[in-house]
Amino acid sequence: MSLWARVNQLPQPVLEQIRYIYGNSFPIEVRHYLAEWIEERLLNVPVYQHEQDSAYEQEAATFLNQLINELERTAINPPEDNVTGRIRLNESARNFCQLFSHNPVQLYSHLINCLQRERQCIAYPEECVNVQDPEIAEVINGLQQLQMLVRANENDNRNLVKDYEHLLLEIHEITKNKAQMEAIDNAQLREHARAALVQQERNVNETVTLITGKRLNLVDNFRKTIQLTSQVQEKVLHKYLTQWKINQGFAGNGASGMSASNLDTIQAWCENLAEIIWNTKDQIRLAMKNKSKLNIEEPNLPDFLPQSLVEVTNLLKALITTTFIIEKQPPQVMKTNTRFAATVRLLIGNTLNIRMSNPLVRVSIISEAQAQATQQSNKASEQSCGEIMNNTGNLEYNETTKQLSVSFRNMQLKKIKRAEKKGTESVMDEKFALLFQSSFAVGHGDLVFSVWTISLPVVVIVHGNQEPQSWATITWDNAFADINRVPFHVPDKVSWNLLAEALNTKFRASTGRSMTPENMHFLCEKAFRANLQYPVSNDLTITWSQFCREPLPDRTFTFWEWFYAAMKVAREHLRGPWNDGSIVGFIHKSKAEDYLLKCSRGTFLLRFSDSELGGITIAWVNESNDGQPQILHIQPFTAKDFATRSLSDRIRDFEDLFYLYPNKPKNEAFDRYTTPPGQPRNRNYIPSEVRAVLMPSNNNPISYPNTPNSYGHLQSPDASRDTPTSGITDVTFRSDSVRPTYFPEARYGMGHNYAASYSGSNMSSPARSQTSPMGPPPGQEYPSPTSVGSPPPAQQLPACVEQFNSAAAAGNSTSVATDSTLPSELLQPGATGSLTLRTSATEHMPEGFLENILSDYQGQELDDVSMAQLNTNSFYTVTTMPQSSGGSNAAASSPAMANGI
């Protein structure tokens, strides 16, 4: 059953919530008709917003084009053969093209968030019923009540105007009657006229009293309207719009709570408020005008109309200036001479005739001090600390979206002027902001407002290596900034649990999956450099310095640098396996070993390296020579390694890895991410590929069948590494007593690696030879051992292994010199030694094996294949004779020599 089918089985209140989430910009009919098509493409897409990522933008643009095509195709033959549905689908296709062609990410992210919300509603329908904020109902009811009040006030004011007109006529009639009365000569008639005039005046006074009562009642209604408007506006602006702005900061850390429908709803509320306020303002001015026409003094009654006019004007000013917002924030880590975008929107642009003037908006960059001065004075500063190209644009009204906005798509920061640094401050700590400002008239031009808004903090960099620390500054600010703060103050110490939530949000946004509670506890212990009880207390706090200033113990990097590098490599190279849960990632090395010791041989898990930034290592179970399990750690892979071969391909290469912890076959976990074999670029060539090979190290020998313990003496290239490695590592030549200063490189034919390991009372030195698939150059043979002082062999061996082995297979025994004297460079002072080389018709041995080991060795490092072949072939025996005190030689033989080493 599709997700949409399950959604339609939910209670009606939950369905209303889902309809509200989608908003007006995405008709619910589109979700209904294209349910399976949408879910197929978006249901498993990671929920994150990374609008500056070109690949993400391209993915969103592709989806938009496919959506429009699918709408047009479905409209031809809608599933339910509904004419209204056909019209609605075609209309939606046109609207999507107009609304989102310039910003497809907006629609793409919105739909992903809506699908996630649908999943939550299915999982927890009872909770979703109560998700509706009860104060939303208060806002809606308040707006409805205000609209009724405004209509009543307007009607009362209209009737009052009529009463004023009748009153003025009566007053005019009295004035005329007075004049006529004065002209009457007859006393009786004059007295009768006087009595009628008195009655008229009595009626006028009663009318004035009645009108005054109506006017006072109207003024009281004005005050009620203003009071209720202030309450509703307070909720809309300082609760919902403020929360939307706070969510912008959280979205900068990767939170997915931002929704275009939320802002559309807030805009609708603000437009209603603007109409209510403007209408009330007009009614107050009309009441004041009518009162002035009567020219009636009311000494015992205070006149509240002027004060009401001031109050309603202040409400209008607060509404206009607050609803000038940044809909799409500029990048918070901004690199000079790099294109960036931002969008500004006026939420009341559909009212008060503002859209008719297309106001100009100007953008500048200001320092933290300038931002503080702007906020304190509530006046946009003309100062700037940098130069931005393409920084002006006009607010334009979109008839389809009913939005008044301007999108700056091609701005560039050319210059920046920095403040003087104090103490340990760096350029990555310095915060700037983009200031957007405009000016326009409202109504009929009688009121002019200057509006401005400041972006979220911005860190300006000039090089990519400044990004990690810059993102530390921004992440901390987005997570812990108070909306009413002084720009851009943030606390120096915060709750660890709040920081952990911010880190988890950021990691989920970058990679597509949250960290586990175990991962989070590991991060806590790493940040505090101590073992802590689980779960940690809410009272546990972490400082800014611990977060990104102080290096980790025995490391040259901070906690944030380590976390950022792990997040970056997971986002760029490990997204698929991480989302599948195939990577444990954040776990102590010791705990990983504890887990693996309970598993069978070949079980492995992946964890982020403690010692290498952006490194991920494989810990796996091997068997030691005594049959006991041992945990080995492969040298960490970094982004540079993954650029050559992916993690999944490397895991496939390692034949010693069988099961992903705890017991999942590795092919089930990683085969979907392995790289399929590619076609050769030129058919005239045989294709080749790079493969990863595990190599033994000193502390972690890899066991092979019939392999002696001679691996134990191999030494890692860096014994101080935090993670001793067994794979992709190098082993260097080392000796307890002597070390040759120069041995040329030894190469053997047929692509096989051979090496020798000498041991005895005088030395313990591994050596390595590298592979030469082509063997020696044509017409040449390997150098004679005379280059290091040993006598030449009695018989030169064949030029390549193939010839030698062919001769051996044919039964032609090959002999070489025996008891050859060891070069003095390989012996302790005063000691002598000899080598006995054994061959037979059934043994295959590379040509010049011993001679070239002695003569051509150049100090290269030994690989595991060479050692394996060396230790499974007894080609020679080494005998040394230490120099006695009396000058005579006494023969001695090492047990290792007897085995042929």
Hey, which residues does 632 pair with through a beta bridge? 620
Q: Which CATH number fits domain 3-131: 3.40.1170.60, 1.10.532.10, 1.10.3720.10, 3.60.20.30?
A: 1.10.532.10
Angle at 639 between CA 637 and CA 642, to 5 degrees: 70
d(CA 847, CA 614): 45
For the chain, residues classed under CATH 2.60.40.630 are 329-418+427-490
Could you tell me the CATH superfamily of domain 136-300?
Answer: STAT transcription factor, all-alpha domain (1.20.1050.20)
- What values do phi and psi take at 619, rounded to 5? -100, 135
Contact present, 505 and 254 (Cβ < 8 Å): yes
The CA–CA distances, whole Å, from 298 to 167, 295, 303, 336 equal 16, 10, 9, 67
Summarised one tens digit per residue, pLDDT across range 708-727 is 333 333 333 333 334 334 44
- Residues forming a β-bridge with 665: 659
Residue 694 DSSP code: B
> What secondary structure letter does DSSP report for 777?
P
Q: Quick one: pLDDT at residue 546?
A: 95
pLDDT of res. 613: 94
Residue 38 or residue 721, greater confidence? 38
Distance, CA of 197 to CA of 191 (rounded, Å): 10
Calculate the CA 594 to chain-centre distance.
32
Backbone angles phi, psi at 52, to 5 degrees: -85, -5
Cα–Cα distance, 829 to 815 (Å, whole number): 31
pLDDT tier for residue 897 given thresholds of 50, 70 and 90: very low
Predicted confidence at residue 292, as pLDDT, reads 79
pLDDT band with cut points at 50, 70 and 90 for residue 260 = low
Q: Which two tokens stand for residue 93?
A: 């296709």
The confidence score (pLDDT) of residue 825 equals: 45
Pick the CATH number of 329-418+427-490 from 2.60.40.630, 1.50.10.100, 3.40.50.300, 3.40.50.720: 2.60.40.630
Which of the 8 DSSP states describes residue 693? -
Scanning 295-381, the segments in alpha helix (DSSP H) are 305-322, 368-377
Confidence of residue 258 (pLDDT cuts 50, 70, 90): low
The phi, psi pair for 820, rounded to 5°, reads: -65, 140
Parallel, antiparallel or unpaired: strands 764-766 and 770-771: unpaired
d(CA 714, CA 724): 12
Residue 327 is predicted with a pLDDT of: 94
Q: Of all helices (H) and strands (E), which one includes residue 858?
A: none
Query: Which of 527-541, 588-602, 646-660, 833-847 has the least mean pLDDT?
Result: 833-847
Report the share of the chain in percent with pLDDT over 90.
38
Which pLDDT value is given to residue 77?
76
- Tell how strand 339-346 and strand 629-633 pair up: unpaired
3-state secondary structure of 381: coil
What is the per-residue pLDDT for 12? Answer: 74
Where in the chain is CATH 1.10.532.10? 3-131
- Eight-state DSSP code of residue 73: H
For residues 839 and 818, what is the distance between their CA atoms, to the nearest angstrom?
A: 11
- Residue 53 has a pLDDT of 63
- Contact of 572 with 551, CB cutoff 8 Å: no
CB contact burial 797-806 (16+ within 10 A = b; e otherwise): bbbbbeebbe
SS3 528: helix
Rounded Cα distance between 747 and 745, Å, is 7
**SS3 of residue 618 by DSSP:** strand
Q: Are 114 and 43 in contact (CB under 8 A)?
A: no
- Nearest Cα neighbor of 124 from 28, 11, 23, 16 is 11
Residue in 840, 845, 851, 784 with CA at minimum distance from that of residue 815: 840
Per-residue pLDDT of 283-296, as tens digits, reads 999 888 887 776 66
What is the C-alpha to C-alpha distance for residues 168 and 147, in angstroms, rounded to an integer?
31
Over residues 491-510, the pLDDT tens digits come to 999 999 999 999 999 999 99
Q: Which residue has the higher pLDDT, 798 or 126?
A: 126
Which residues, 6+ apart, have CB-to-CB distance to 506 below 8 Å?
Answer: 253, 254, 475, 567
End-to-end alpha carbon distance in the chain: 67
Element (H, E) at 866: helix 864-871
Was domain 497-673 assigned CATH 3.40.50.2300? no
SS3 annotation, 548-592 = HCCECCCCCCEHHHHHHHHHHHHHHHCHHHHHCCCCCECCCHHHH
Mean pLDDT (the chain) is 76
pLDDT one-digit tens code per residue, 172-218: 888 888 888 888 778 888 888 888 888 888 888 888 888 888 888 89
Q: Within the chain, which residue ranges are assigned CATH 3.30.505.10?
A: 497-673
Residue written as tokens 């492969």?
634
Residue 344: strand pairing partners:
326, 406
pTM (2 d.p.) = 0.66
pLDDT of res. 9: 83
CA atoms within 13 A on the CB side of 334: 30
Those residues with Cβ within 8 angstroms of residue 416's Cβ, 6 or more apart along the chain or in another chain:
336, 365, 385, 386, 432, 460
What pLDDT digit, counting tens, does each position of 272-283 carry? 999 999 999 999
Residue tagged 């009441």 (tokens): 287
Which range is least confidently modeled, 85-89, 179-183, 441-445, 828-832?
Answer: 828-832
Q: For residue 316, is pLDDT > 90?
A: yes
User: 811 has which bridge partners?
Assistant: none
